[in-house]
């Protein structure tokens, strides 16, 4: 019976959490880019014009396109760096949630207008 328990214990390999952490942190970075680009487009007529990729949507089309590109690039870079590593997942989750919270708060006009 002890041989069976040893075999079962040895077959459970530890899977690195770096890929999941990369996705989580990249999502936080992408959400912050949406907020920052939205504030920047509101403050700068030239950026608003630059971000207007699809006229009916206005600057939002460029803001979200930029955020998606930044999200994908951040995810790819972090994936390459962390794919075979175990990273401190609690810290990564907290950072991602702070970025998400900042992006959410900055979309409210009283806070976004402070910048």
pLDDT over 90 (residue 75): yes
Q: DSSP label at 58?
A: B
Confidence band of 115 (pLDDT split at 50, 70, 90): confident
Quick one: which of 106, 81, 90, 82 has its CA closest to 15? 82
Distance from C-alpha of 63 to C-alpha of 73, rounded to nearest angstrom = 15
pLDDT over 90 (residue 112): no
| pLDDT recorded at residue 11 | 63
What are the structure tokens assigned to 57, written together? 């949507």
**Measuring CA to CA, how many Å separate 89 from each of 8, 60, 75, 85?**
26, 32, 15, 11
Q: Identify which has the larger pLDDT, 99 or 112.
A: 99
- Count helices and strands in the chain by DSSP H and E runs: 6, 0
Chain centroid to CA 60: 18
Mean pLDDT of 76-83: 97
Burial class (CB in 10 A: 0-12, 13-18, 19+), 78: buried
pLDDT digits (tens, 9 = 90+) for 12-58: 678 899 999 999 999 999 999 999 999 999 899 999 999 999 889 89
| pLDDT recorded at residue 74 | 98
Mean pLDDT of 85-104: 96
Mean pLDDT of the chain: 89
DSSP per-residue string spanning 4-33: HHHHHHHH-PPPP-HHHHHHHHHHHHHHHH
């Amino acid at each position: 019976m002890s041989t069976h328990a040893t075999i079962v214990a040895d077959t459970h390999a530890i899977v690195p959490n770096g890929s999941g952490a990369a996705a989580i942190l990249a999502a936080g970075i992408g959400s912050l880019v949406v907020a920052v680009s939205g504030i920047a487009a509101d403050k700068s007529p030239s950026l608003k014009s630059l971000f207007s990729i699809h006229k009916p949507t206005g600057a939002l089309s460029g803001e979200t396109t930029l955020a998606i590109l930044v999200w994908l690039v951040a995810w790819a870079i972090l994936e390459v760096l962390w794919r075979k590593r175990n990273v401190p997942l609690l810290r990564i989750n907290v950072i991602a949630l702070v970025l998400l919270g900042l992006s959410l708060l900055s979309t409210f006009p009283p806070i976004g207008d402070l910048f």
